[in-house]
Amino acid sequence: MLANEPALMPIAGCTDVYVGLHFGTMPQQRFLDLWNLKELRGISVKDDVLRIGALTTYTEIIASKLVQKRLPMLVAAAREVGGAQIQNRGTLGGNVANASPAGDTLPVLVAANARIVLRSQAGTRTVPVEKFYTGYRQSVRKPGELITAIEIPRIDGKQWWRKVGTRRAQAISKIMMGAVRGKEVRIGIGSVAATVVLAPRTAAVLSGGGTIADAQAALRREIAPIDDIRSTGAYRAQVAANLLAEFWRKTE
C-alpha cells in the first residue's frame, strides 16, 4: 500500500498523531494503520541479537525479561515515557519513526549500537541508528518503507541512562543520555541537537583513558544545545557535562 501511496502516514499507538492533529502540525490526512500487524510485534533473541518488533509498546519492553536482561537501559528509558497510559500505547517503532531529537529511546539505541530494520516492496535493509537521522524529524526512511524491527547486538559493558525532564513523569526531556562503558564507550544524547547525537569523540577520550575534563571539553564540541521553551542552551551544555561525569562515576 505504501508503495502505491507514498503519502500515507503509517500509524501505530498514535500517541503523537493526535497531538499533531490537535495542534494542526500534521498536513497528512490519510493514515495507514499498522496496529493489528502481529508480525511487527514480539521480542526475541537470535544469534545473540535482541530483536524488538516495531510495534512493541513501552509496557511490553518494561515487562520483557529479555530486555531487562540484555538492555536494561531501554527498560529505564521506557519507564520514563509519559505515564502508564502512554506506555501502554506508544511503540518503539513509533519513537524511532517520529525522529524527534527528544525521542526517549533514541539515546539508548544509539549507545546500544542498534540497527533499524526497514522493509519495502523492494526488500529489507538495515540501517545503523546513528546513520538513520538526517535532520530535525527527518530520517532515511523512504516513503515506501516501514520500520519492522529494531535489532540490538549483545552489549559488552555497563549500561547507564538518565533523563532530565521538567518533572518526574509526563515530561519532554531537556536532555538525556544513554551510555555504555565496556571495552569501547558509546554515548547517545538527546535534546541537544536537531537529531539524537552519538558522541564518538567524547567516547574515544574516555575509551582511551582520558580525563573527565577532557571528555567534557570534547562533548561541548559534539553537541549544539539551544534555548527553547523548556530550557536553555547553557543549562543543557552544563548538565550534559555533568551527566557525562555521573555516567563515568556510576559505571566504575
- Tell which positions 40-59 bind another protein, by CB under 8 A: 59
Residue from 38, 46, 65, 167 that binds another protein (CB under 8 A)?
A: 167
Residue from 4, 22, 38, 209 that binds another protein (CB under 8 A)?
A: 22
Q: Cα 210 vs. chain centroid, distance in angstroms?
A: 27
Measured in Å, how far apart are the chain's first and last C-alpha atoms? 50
Residue from 85, 121, 124, 138 that binds another protein (CB under 8 A)?
A: 85
Nearest-approach distance from CB 31 to another protein, in angstroms:
7
Q: Which residue carries 525532564 as its cell?
A: 165
For the chain, what is the HEC assignment?
Answer: CCCCCCCCEEECCCCCHHHHHHCCCCCCCCEEECCCCHHHCCEEEECCEEEEECCCEHHHHHHCHHHHHHCHHHHHHHHCCCCHHHHCCCEHHHHHHHCCCCCCCHHHHHHCCCEEEEEECCEEEEEEHHHCEEECCEECCCCCCEEEEEEEECCCCEEEEEEEECCCCCCCEEEEEEEEECCCEEEEEECCCCCCEECHHHHHHHHCCCCHHHHHHHHHHHCCCCCCCCCCHHHHHHHHHHHHHHHHHHCC
Q: If binding is defined by CB under 8 A, does position 202 make contact with another protein?
A: no
**Nearer Cβ to another protein (72/153):** 72
Q: If binding is defined by CB under 8 A, does position 5 make contact with another protein?
A: no
Q: If binding is defined by CB under 8 A, does position 86 make contact with another protein?
A: yes
Using CB under 8 A as the binding criterion, the count of chain residues that bind another protein stands at 41
**Nearer Cβ to another protein (38/46):** 38
Q: If binding is defined by CB under 8 A, does position 84 make contact with another protein?
A: yes
- 63-82 footprint of another protein as x/- string (CB under 8 A): -------------------x
Q: If binding is defined by CB under 8 A, does position 239 make contact with another protein?
A: yes
Q: Residue 119: which residues within 8 A CB-CB, separation 6 or more?
A: 145, 146, 148
**Nearer Cβ to another protein (200/233):** 233
**Nearer Cβ to another protein (120/238):** 238
Q: If binding is defined by CB under 8 A, does position 169 make contact with another protein?
A: yes
Q: If binding is defined by CB under 8 A, does position 62 make contact with another protein?
A: no
Half-sphere exposure (Cβ direction) of 83: Cα atoms closer than 13 Å: 5
Q: If binding is defined by CB under 8 A, does position 31 make contact with another protein?
A: yes
Amino acid, single-letter form, for residue 211 = T
Nearest-approach distance from CB 174 to another protein, in angstroms:
8
Query: Which residues of the chain form contacts with another protein (CB under 8 A)?
Result: 11, 13-15, 17-19, 22-24, 31, 33, 35, 59, 82-86, 88-89, 164, 166-172, 229-232, 234-235, 238-239, 242-243, 245-246
